[in-house]
Amino acid sequence: MSFEGAAEIERSLEIAAARGGDLTDAIYARLFGAFPETEALFVMDKGGQVRGSMLAHVFETIFDFIGERRYAHRFIRAEIVTHDGYGVAPDAFAAFFGIVRDEVRAACASDWTASMEEAWRRLLDELHTYAVSPAA
């Protein structure tokens, strides 16, 4: 399976990494700005290992989703339930992918293109069909 726009997504991530370096702090700052209640969930994560590991999983999930799609769709459905147990509301969980996109777009700055915008919009739309509450 190949996602239409996969090349644009990959290119945007490469540019963001080259221009912005490690986006971890910026992404979590954006998350805590949009969903302040989530900051307390990481209070034990003093060194940032959990945040780093979670974000690595999110990027791997995106790469699998736009590539072979071996597990990403099932992983998202499973994690939404696990995260509900951590106290993460499903809408906050689902919004995380958009927060990543916003930060990637900010890091790409003038290198962000209309085709990247379109590819990410399609990706977020499709991800959101999996990242819905099981009860919904």
CA distance 58 to 122: 17
* 131: nearest Cα among 76, 58, 60, 54: 76
Nearer to ligand HEM, 114 or 134 (CB): 134
Nearer to ligand HEM, 107 or 127 (CB): 127
Nearer to ligand HEM, 92 or 106 (CB): 92
Which residues would be at the binding site for ligand HEM (CB under 6 A)? 31, 35, 38, 41-42, 50, 53-54, 57-58, 61, 76, 79, 83, 86, 88, 92-93, 96
Nearest distance from C-beta of residue 112 to ligand HEM, angstroms: 22
CA distance 104 to 119: 13
Please give the distance of CA 27 from its chain centroid, rounded to a whole number.
9
